Amino acid sequence: MENFSADTRRIALDAMGGDMGPTEVVAALQLALREFSDLCPVTIVGNEAELTPLLQQANLLDHPKVALLHASEVITMGDEVMTAIKRKRDSSMIKAIELVKNGEARAVVSSGNTKILVSAGTLKLRTLAGVERPALSPVIPREGGHFILIDAGANPDARVTHLVHNAILGSHYAQLELGVERPRVGLLTIGTEEGKGNSLINGTHESLKALGDLVNYVGPVEGFQVFFDHVDVIVCDGFTGNICLKSWESLSKFFRNELKAQMLSTPVRRLGGLLAKGAFTGLRHRIQPERYGGAPLLGLRGTVLKAHGSANRYALMNAIGDASEFIRVDFTSRIESDIERANKILRPEPADAKTP
């Protein structure tokens, strides 16, 4: 089934990449169509033989906003990057990215292999003018709200310019996703004193200060400040960010499991747990990852949203909704002018190259 319309404001949805399988992806698409009245059209990409009965069961087979594009291959978590990109050209992930590259869609949503998604998205879509490397930017809960972490793993070997670009990308994303008009941007380091950090941190700190009002840079932040209301965007390299993100997720699971074990350990505590059930439910909803279903790969000529490999239908539903919002506001076009201004500040034109 293919019923592509002339409308290119379309989402390409990879149905085969995640741990939960296409059943959960179709359920997420059904939920998204119910939840978001202005949702952009969606092309679901994957094995037609598996998807057709699922779409039919969900009453989406002839839905005016849904198209199906057959893909005979699947990229697995064990695939090597270049092997997958070169040899699995008929995979659901690569074909979804190709839809954006060819102008038949504006955004990709996938819960597949992160490394391959980042690499394929970068190679096929290319970065925005002036941007050297893309960055993954999940939304993380903190005291009184949320913050943007950028980069969470796309670029582990970052340079000063990359982190400055991350600050601009993250600031724009915070405006869109968090609704903050003037996001506070902080640089993750080991101390807030001047000069306390490695050469990458110190160089980035000086460069961010040089940007003036282009970015609302409030200075370095330490690890113990992260979950309090200090900043809206935390900038770091992808190596550091990925370790932070996975450590926070692991710690969150540890506390949930430990709290549950402690509350069930005695009859008195079980009774207390029942009395406090509402508070525990509220806490679970507050920190649950489903609310922000995907981390965008910012800085590309097109939107790529990476959902967690084990994302359920509610997380995927929100990722699809976020992709639609990116398309609606034409997010990528808003960034290039700020990147150009930053590059001129960081790399001014030589005096002898200027026109008299």
In this structure, how many other beta carbons lie within 10 angstroms of the beta carbon of residue 35? 13
Per-residue pLDDT at 116 exceeds 90: yes
How far apart (Å, rounded) are the C-alpha atoms in residues 212 and 234? 18
> What secondary structure does DSSP assign to 155-211, as a single string?
-SS--HHHHHHHHHHHHHHHHHHT--SS--EEEE-S-SSTT-S-HHHHHHHHHHHHT
Q: What is the mean pLDDT of residues 226-252?
A: 90
Residues listed for the chain: 356
Tokens 């074909």 sit at which residue?
95
- Local structure of 91: helix, strand or coil: strand
Q: Which domains does the chain have, with CATH numbers?
A: 11-131+299-331 (3.40.718.10), 139-289 (3.40.718.10)
Please report, for residues 107, 185, 257, 297, the alpha-carbon distance to residue 304 in angstroms, rounded to integers and kept in the order given: 6, 23, 33, 5
Q: Give the pLDDT band (50/70/90) at residue 85.
A: very high
Residues 6+ apart with CB under 8 A from 348: none
**pLDDT for 353:** 44
How far apart (Å, rounded) are the C-alpha atoms in residues 17 and 115? 12
**pLDDT for 280:** 61
CA atoms within 13 A on the CB side of 227: 7
DSSP state of 139: E
How far apart (Å, rounded) are the C-alpha atoms in residues 102 and 93? 14
The pLDDT tens digits of the residues spanning 125-160 come to 999 989 999 999 999 888 888 999 999 989 999 999
**pLDDT for 20:** 84
Please, are residues 233 and 171 in contact by the beta-carbon 8 Å criterion? yes
Q: Is 143 exposed, middle or buried (0-12, 13-18, 19+ CB in 10 A)?
A: exposed
Residues 6+ apart with CB under 8 A from 145: 178, 229, 232
How far apart (Å, rounded) are the C-alpha atoms in residues 205 and 295? 25
Please, are residues 306 and 135 in contact by the beta-carbon 8 Å criterion? no
Please, are residues 172 and 135 in contact by the beta-carbon 8 Å criterion? no
The pLDDT tens digits of the residues spanning 277-290 come to 666 666 565 555 54
Please report, for residues 28, 32, 317, the alpha-carbon distance to residue 35 in angstroms, rounded to integers and kept in the order given: 10, 5, 8
> What stretches of the chain show up as alpha helix (H) in DSSP?
22-35, 48-57, 81-87, 92-101, 114-125, 160-177, 199-210, 238-263, 267-275, 277-287, 313-328, 336-346
Q: Give the pLDDT band (50/70/90) at residue 220.
A: very high
